[in-house]
């Protein structure tokens, strides 16, 4: 039986609310502190890397960055349910002036497990085939390094047994597997593989898809979504470091049930909140930049909304007029809404 938790109340007033979620403006450390312990099923986020980029990439700065991020992680640890998860997407970096990698993402992994008490449930790798070659100096000019197109995505859990169901994120079968499912007898004779795996007849059972691997191939190349359209229509600068919806979608489906509570502590353009809303999960978004929060409403309002209304919503948020964007939203799928209210 699932433990049902409500969307937690904070003392801070949300900037906007939807059917299932609320977006807050402020420093996430302060907002996290307002949450009751055990009130979140999943925290998924991608932290700002600017802190690291602005400075020298030496060891000292890496340690400072790890210390800074550990403050958030310690708070998150207490706010998660016992079977909750914390998924952290981290891009790789080079040390300044040298073709030598920074170890900060691995330092984070070790610190969070050794000192905060998280478990590494699984290490994931996000391969973004549309990533441009960088750093130009080492890759394009001097041809000393390969293109860096994989982010580490650490799936931390509070206990050894986080909630997870891989059946919710099955991927399409390979062509070979599809053939095998059609005619298992013709295709091969069951035998023991050199690896020791006993491939019996059960292997030819159609489970609706294949188990995904921990290498997630997701291009970050969205060009015509509702968010970008809104930014374009209103002449607003788009958020420079959005992640693709497929990334939070994978972990939200994998690690939560409808009605669970999902938080992104560095919400940016609120990709996570918008996906959670579509998936029938309750959500919270924390972001310190009010302009990013205002523009994030474009993801959540009805796609038929006219430009003047979009502008009114955007401006009313900047003018601190708390907006009930719920009135401008597409009707949620009744089925998903019922699921999240009742479960
Ligand atoms: C890499 S972006 C996240 C982008 C997001 N995943 C998306 O899809 O749009 C990191 C965000 O963290 C925000 N941020 C940085 N420090 C913060 C803090 N202490 N509290 C809240 N937000 C913060 C930045 O303003 C930035 O928008």
pLDDT of residue 71: 97
**Residue 119 CB neighbour total at 10 angstroms:** 16
Sign of CA dihedral 334, 2, 29, 247: negative
The average pLDDT across 22-51 equals 93
User: Which CATH number is 16-170+212-342 given?
Assistant: 3.40.50.150
Does residue 111 sit in helix, strand or coil?
A: helix
Name, in order, each residue with C-beta under 8 angstroms of 26's C-beta and a sequence gap of 6 or more: 12, 286, 288
Greater model confidence, 63 or 234? 234
Interatomic CA distance for residues 45 and 227, integer angstroms? 19
**Ligand 1 in reach of 18 Cβ (< 6 A):** no
pLDDT at residue 1, as a whole number: 43
Give 343's pLDDT tier (boundaries 50, 70, 90).
Answer: very low
| Closest atom of ligand 1 to CA, residue 72 | 19
What is d(CA 80, CA 318) in angstroms, rounded to the nearest whole number? 31
How large is the average pLDDT for residues 242-266? 97
For 339, list phi and psi in degrees, rounded to 5: -55, -45
Which of 30, 60, 41, 83 has its CA nearest to residue 272?
A: 41
| 264 carries an active-site annotation | no
Which ligand 1 atom lies nearest to the CA of residue 269? 9
Say yes or no: CB of residue 151 within 6 Å of ligand 1: no
pLDDT of 81 over the 90 cut: yes
Task: Identify whether 148 is a catalytic site residue.
Answer: no
Q: CA-to-CA distance for 263 and 32, rounded, in angstroms?
A: 10
Q: State the closest ligand 1 atom to the C-alpha of 49, by its place in the atom list counted from 1.
A: 1
Mean pLDDT (whole number) for 110-130: 97
Ligand 1 centroid to residue 339 C-alpha, Å: 30
Tokens of 8: 């937690």
Which of 103 and 205 is assigned the larger pLDDT? 103
pLDDT (0 to 100) of residue 52: 55
Q: Are 49 and 171 in contact (CB under 8 A)?
A: no
What pLDDT sits at residue 303? 86
Query: Sorting pLDDT into bands at 50, 70 and 90, what band is 336?
Result: low
Q: Helices marked H in 206-306 — which ranges?
A: 226-234, 246-255, 271-278, 290-296
For 169-218, how does the pLDDT look when each residue is reduced to its tens digit (9 = 90+)? 999 888 888 888 888 777 666 666 666 666 666 667 888 899 999 999 99
Q: Which of 89, 148, 260, 264 is catalytic?
A: 89
Residue the block writes with tokens 């023991």: 192
pLDDT of residue 97: 86
How far is ligand 1, taken at its centre, from the CA of residue 267, in Å?
5
Tell me how crowded residue 26 is: count the other CB atoms within 10 A of its CB: 16
32 contacts 339 by C-beta, under 8 angstroms: no
Q: Using alpha carbons, select from 302, 324, 330 the residue that is nearest to residue 313.
A: 324
How much of the chain, in percent, has pLDDT values that exceed 70? Answer: 86
Please state, in angstroms and rounded to a whole number, the distance separating the CA atoms of residues 252 and 281: 8
Measure 244 CA to ligand 1 centroid, in angstroms.
15
**pLDDT given at position 304:** 87
Please tell me if the CB atom of residue 38 comes closer than 6 angstroms to any atom of ligand 1.
Answer: no
The helix (run of H) or strand (run of E) holding residue 125 is strand 119-127
pTM for the structure as a whole: 0.91
Q: How far is the CA of 200 from the centre of ligand 1 (A)?
A: 49
* 35 CB-contact burial (10 Å; exposed 0-12 / middle 13-18 / buried 19+): buried
Lowest-confidence segment of 34-38, 189-193, 268-272 by average pLDDT = 189-193
Q: What percent of the chain has pLDDT over 90?
A: 63
3-state secondary structure of 202: helix
**Mean pLDDT confidence for 245-267:** 97
pLDDT reading at 272 higher than 60: yes
Q: Which residue has its alpha carbon closest to ligand 1 atom 26?
A: 268
175 part of the active site: no
Closest Cα partner for 280 from 168, 189, 204, 182?
168
Domain segments of the chain: what residues?
A: 16-170+212-342, 172-210
For the chain, the average pLDDT equals 88
Ligand 1 centroid from CA 266, angstroms: 3
Among 52-61, 94-103, 151-160, 281-290, the range scoring the smallest mean pLDDT is 52-61
């Amino acid at each position: 039986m699932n433990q049902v938790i409500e969307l937690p109340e904070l003392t801070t007033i949300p900037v906007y609310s939807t059917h299932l979620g609320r977006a807050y403006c402020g420093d996430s450390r302060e907002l996290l502190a307002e949450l009751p312990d055990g009130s979140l099923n999943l925290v998924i986020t991608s932290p700002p890397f600017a802190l690291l980029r602005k400075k020298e990439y030496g060891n000292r700065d890496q340690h400072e960055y790890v210390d800074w991020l550990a403050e958030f992680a310690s708070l998150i640890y207490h706010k998660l349910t016992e079977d909750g998860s914390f998924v952290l997407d981290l891009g790789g970096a080079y040390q300044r002036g040298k073709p030598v990698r920074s170890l900060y993402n691995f330092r984070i992994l070790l610190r969070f497990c050794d000192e905060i008490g998280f478990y590494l449930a699984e290490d994931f790798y996000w391969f973004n085939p549309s990533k441009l070659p960088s750093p130009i100096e080492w890759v394009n000019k001097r041809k000393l390094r390969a293109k860096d197109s994989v982010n580490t995505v650490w799936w931390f859990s509070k206990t050894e047994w986080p909630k997870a169901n891989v059946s919710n994120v099955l991927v399409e079968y390979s062509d070979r597997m599809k053939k095998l499912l059609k005619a298992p007898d013709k295709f091969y004779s069951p035998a023991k593989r050199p690896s020791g795996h006993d491939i019996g007849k059960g292997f030819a059972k159609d489970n609706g898809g294949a188990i995904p691997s921990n290498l997630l191939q997701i291009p970050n190349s969205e060009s015509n979504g509702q968010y970008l359209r809104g930014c374009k229509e209103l002449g607003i600068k788009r958020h420079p470091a959005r992640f693709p919806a497929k990334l939070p979608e994978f972990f939200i489906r994998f690690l939560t049930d409808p009605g669970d509570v999902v938080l992104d502590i560095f919400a940016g353009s609120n990709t996570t909140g918008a996906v959670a809303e579509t998936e029938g999960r309750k959500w919270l978004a924390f972001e310190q930049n009010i302009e990013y929060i205002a523009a994030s409403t474009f993801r959540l309002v009805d796609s038929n909304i006219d430009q003047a209304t979009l502008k009114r919503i955007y401006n009313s948020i900047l003018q601190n007029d708390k907006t009930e964007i719920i009135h401008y939203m597409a009707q949620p799928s009744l089925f998903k809404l019922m699921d999240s209210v009742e479960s």
